[in-house]
Amino acid sequence: MKAVGLVVEYNPFHNGHYYHLQQAQKITGADVTVAVMSGNFTQRGEPTIIDKWSRASVAVANGVDLVIELPLFYAVQPAHRFAAGALRLLAALGVNTVVFGAEHPQWDFQRLVKAEEFFNQESFNNYNATYATQFNQQLAAQTGITLVDPNDILAFAYTKTKMQNRYPFKLLPIKRQGSNYHDNVITGKIASASAIRESLANNDNIYQQAVPPSMATLLTHVKMVPSWHELYPLLRNQLIQAPVSYLQSTYLMAEGLEYRMKEAAQRSLDFAAFMKYTKTKRYTYAHLLRVSLYTLLQINQEAVKKHTQRPYLHVLAFNQRGRQYLHQVKKQVDIPLITKVDQKLRDGLLNLDYRAGKLYQLFTPIEQDLQHPPVIIN
């Protein structure tokens, strides 16, 4: 079977995603569509508005054949690590093509990756600017192009990952349709996920025009949009109680950020105030969210390093075609294929995802990992 791979969050699955899915199937002529999807926390480190099992079910109900979870240690990462993890899993599954949206699909991303070879690495020492800002300054000097839009940044990361690992599949960018990534207003049938989440938080029904009926039905049952405002009391307590020496070992914590976050927690009663106090020109908002999540989960540098070296394929949902494809590739995959999490996996290979799932259960009573079988859509 010929397979096309997608890298997704579906937070939530909307009409733009449906267009992307249809185009991927149409232009590749694939027999099966495989999606690698973030679990219960996004790349930025925010909780998803609906749990991973429900999102995977909607994806399969709308035409995806197989949904695999992107583990936490890949999913909650900057673009280059996020892309590396997602493509590692799609390569293990033997997909023929990876199709992704981009704001500028006409750009020669291989040329942009090669331009990086001529960067002056010693100049990345300006602590008054983020790494992304300094990177774009050098990229613009070499090519006249800057990577600003989120999907273009990911397109660059996918291309670089493929070139470094010499993956055999093709990369195929397509034009992102409708609203811009960060637009917060719904004006038609295709809107950004940000706008849909904003509509849901405002308790209006405008979002329903921008999502398929199956997702609209799910969203009507959302009582509270999960956010860091609910998680902050736990984070604040962790930052106040833990010694600085302990916080220093937290994954992505560096350059004295532990002192700043600890002081911010002691001064700030709500998450908005905490972020305002912690934010500097050196750190993006997304970076601070990721560090906050790893702090709350008490995940250190060594744990992420160990788990990154042991990737796996955790199956969330599939239909009959997805089942057939799993049977086709299961003897060829070079990493564990998991369809049910037992206590051994909970305490070992899937421990970080399990811990993240338990944190997410503050928002839902549904068990997120232990003994949870894949969702089968006929």
Summarize the annotated binding site as residue ranges. 7-20, 101, 151, 176
Q: List all residues 6 or more positions away from 290 whose beta carbon is below 8 Å from its beta carbon.
A: 44, 45, 76, 77, 78, 252
CA–CA dist 308, 356 (Å, integer)? 16
* DSSP per-residue string spanning 122-150: GG---TTS-HHHHHHHHHHHHHS----SH
Residues counted in the chain: 378
Q: Which are the contacts of 172, defined by CB distance < 8 A and separation ≥ 6? A: 24, 27, 28, 97, 98, 99, 100
Determine contact, residues 51/360, Cβ cutoff 8 Å: yes
What radius of gyration do the chain's Cα atoms show?
Answer: 20
Q: Residue 238 and residue 234: Cα distance in Å, rounded?
A: 6
Of 229, 286, 225, the C-alpha closest to 82 is 286
Could you tell me which residues come within 8 angstroms of residue 91 by beta carbon, excluding any fewer than 6 positions away?
165, 167, 168, 169
Cβ(17)–Cβ(107) under 8 Å?
no
Taking a C-beta distance cutoff of 8 angstroms, is the pair 29, 2 a contact? yes
List residues forming the annotated binding site for ATP.
7-20, 101, 151, 176
Pick from 2, 65, 75, 4: nearest CA to 37 = 75
Residue 46: DSSP 8-state: P
Gap between the Cα atoms of 3 and 374, Å rounded = 20
Name 306's Cβ contacts closer than 8 Å, sequence gap at least 6: none
